[in-house]
Amino acid sequence: MPKNPIYENRKPVITIRGLKKTFGQNAVLNGFDMDLYEGETLVIMGKSGSGKSVMIKCLIGLETHDAGTINIMGRDMENVSEDELRDIRTEVGFLFQGSALYDSMTVRENLEFPLRRHKRKFGGISDTTPMVIEVLESVGLAHAIDLMPEELSGGMKRRIALARTLILRPRIILYDEPTTGLDPITSKEIVLLMKSIQQKYSTSSIVITHDVDCARFISDRMILLVDGVNYAEGTFAELDASADPKVQAFFKS
């Protein structure tokens, strides 16, 4: 449990305990624990190949885990029905590493696509245009509604991918390296946008990043993933001040 008193009365929206995942001889997660509290932004850092993306995939059921428990908004992922899993997938939005748009679809069609996939929640809505426009406005790209992905810059594509996540009205957003591949100015814009979305929609977020500036700006709390476990936890300032060489390695780079 975090020592910080601001978390004492907060409810976790995600709890992971003892998560283990091995691929062949490669033990990637060795008993990873995590709590994500309501309304917070939790940054997870770890070396390339340390299992951050695998952890996120286990969390949303895209990868099976070997041991451990995952509870999302009060539901044990081991015991959910197909219908419940579909509902959870609308409540937990994720922005994948790379997050490609469908090249043959316009921006509008890209944004409508997830609504069609989740008919149980959104099937009754006859005109989705107001929803498309609202999320486009949230990412500052209402004018791009009829463009094709090839007409967008890298930063614009990332914004549209974020709008596509937002259109399902998630309560939790998982960001896997949201600024990778972008120049420093565009990265900064995306990080500012993530913060404004956090405020506008009151989401709880997990942000996986190598970007120390992003972590400093956006994190309420951080976890360092080393050797398959949550090696260190705390605020950016607490971890930055740590004398532990394994912790310091993250902040020097």
Ligand X SMILES: Nc1ncnc2c1ncn2[C@@H]1O[C@H](COP(=O)(O)OP(=O)(O)OP(=O)(O)O)[C@@H](O)[C@H]1O
Residue numbers at the binding site for ligand X (CB under 6 A): 23, 26, 28, 46, 48-54, 97
Nearest residue (CB) to Mg ion, 53 versus 198:
53
How far apart CA 53 and CA 148 sit, in angstroms, is 28
How far apart CA 144 and CA 135 sit, in angstroms, is 12
Q: Which residues contact 45 (CB under 8 A, 6 or more apart)?
A: 208, 209, 210, 215, 222, 223, 224, 225, 250
Q: What token pair was written down for 205?
A: 């977020």
Nearest residue (CB) to Mg ion, 46 versus 155:
46
Tell me the residue nearest to Mg ion as measured from the CB: 53
- Residue appearing with tokens 């970007």: 211
234 binds, among Mg ion, ligand X, none (CB under 5 to 8 A by kind): none
Site for Mg ion in 47-66 (CB under 5 A): 53
90 binds, among ligand X, Mg ion, none (CB under 5 to 8 A by kind): none
Taking the complex as a whole, how short is the minimal distance between the CB of residue 207 and Mg ion, in angstroms? Answer: 12
First to last CA, the chain: 28
Nearest residue (CB) to Mg ion, 45 versus 107:
45
242 binds, among Mg ion, ligand X, none (CB under 5 to 8 A by kind): none
Nearest residue (CB) to ligand X, 94 versus 122:
94
How far apart CA 169 and CA 147 sit, in angstroms, is 23
Taking the complex as a whole, how short is the minimal distance between the CB of residue 48 and Mg ion, in angstroms? Answer: 7
71 binds, among Mg ion, ligand X, none (CB under 5 to 8 A by kind): none
Taking the complex as a whole, how short is the minimal distance between the CB of residue 232 and ligand X, in angstroms? Answer: 16
Nearest residue (CB) to Mg ion, 53 versus 165:
53
Q: Indicate the Cα dihedral angle 238, 239, 242, 248, nearest 10°.
A: -160
228 binds, among ligand X, Mg ion, none (CB under 5 to 8 A by kind): none
100-129 burial, b at 16+ Cβ within 10 Å, e below that, comes to: ebeeeebbbbbbbebbeeeeeebeeeeeee
Instruction: Give phi and psi for 45, each to the nearest 5.
Output: -115, 150
54 binds, among Mg ion, ligand X, none (CB under 5 to 8 A by kind): ligand X
Nearest residue (CB) to Mg ion, 52 versus 89:
52
Instruction: Give the residues lining the site for Mg ion (CB under 5 A).
Output: 53
